Structure 1
Amino acid sequence: MTILVAYVARPEGKAALDKGIEIATRRNEPLVVVNAGPGGRDDASVVDGYEGERVAERLATLSVPAEFKHFVRGKSAVEEIDELVHQLQVSVLVIGLRRRSAVGKLLLGSTAQEILMTVSCPVLAVKAD
């Protein structure tokens, strides 16, 4: 079994990473951290090389096998995460949530909601402090 974390370089992504590390370490399960998005100038969810290196360096210090995957292949983050859920034996997917207004949810949609409705594994949603 594998713990999967959906990571973005925002407080809610860092909270998800912290919780994923905690769970993987406690359960002694491998950890995969993924950052994905279609790419392009307007895709704020995709991390830059420096941020990806920082995450990979942190994962290298863990007592469990851990890796960072970064996908910018024209697919949505939800598509990439769903593919990983099917490829890996994911015991839990950890995602971060941020507070949004009702209008914001209506106009922009919610990646977290789409993940919850799409993936076939349990999902743990965490909020940033």
Structure 2
Amino acid sequence: MTVLVGYLPTVEGEAAFAAALDEAVRRAEPLLLINSPRSGAPVSADAAAPAELATLTKRASEAGVALEIRQPSHTGELSEALLAAADEADASVIVIGLRRRSPVGKLFLGSAAQQILLNATRPVLAVKPAHH
């Protein structure tokens, strides 16, 4: 089994990675990082830069955790891509970061995190970044 983390280069993504790394250490499992930019976008803020991925790889190595990074582009909903990756990897847990949203924003815009929480067939660990 493996710990799967949905990663975006944001403070929420950092919180998710830190929690996933802790889970991987605790469970003695490898870590699979999914960073999935939208297909067809000329530039995507969702794609992590190579230097950032190198830093995450170093952190995992220092913690004694094997890290696999996948950056498949997605055309549909990000939540569907993440859930498919979790099924394919037989993930023991999915770790995601949450951002603060207003109740109205949640009602009208939906949420990838909400879709993951509702549709996952395995445990989901949802974390928020620390406020400074």
Residue aligning to 1:64: 65
Is the alpha carbon distance of 1:54 and 1:64 closer, same or farther for their aligned partners in structure 2, counting shifts above 3 Å?
closer
SS of the counterpart of 2:35? strand
SS at match of 1:71: coil
> Where does structure 1 lack aligned partners over 5 or more consecutive residues?
none
Residue aligning to 1:49: 50
Q: 1:114 to 1:43 in 2, by over 3 A?
A: farther
- Please give the per-residue CA displacement for 1:42-84, whole angstroms capped at 9, x wherever unaligned: 7533323333333334334331221111111434321221111
Q: What is the identity, as a one-letter code, of the residue corresponding to 1:23?
A: E
Give the residue type in structure 2 aligned to 1:20. A
How much identity, in percent, do the aligned residues show?
Answer: 38
How many residues align structurally?
129
Query: Runs of 5+ in structure 2 lacking a partner?
Result: none
Q: Which residue of 2 aligns with 1:105?
A: 106
- Structure 1-normalised TM-score? 0.86
The Cα RMSD (Å) is: 1.9
CA contact (8 A) 2:77 2:112 kept: no
The Cα shift of 1:41 comes to: 4.7
- TM-score with structure 2 setting the length: 0.85
How far apart are residue 119 of structure 1 and its match? 1.9
1:70-109 equivalence runs, <5 A = 70-109=71-110
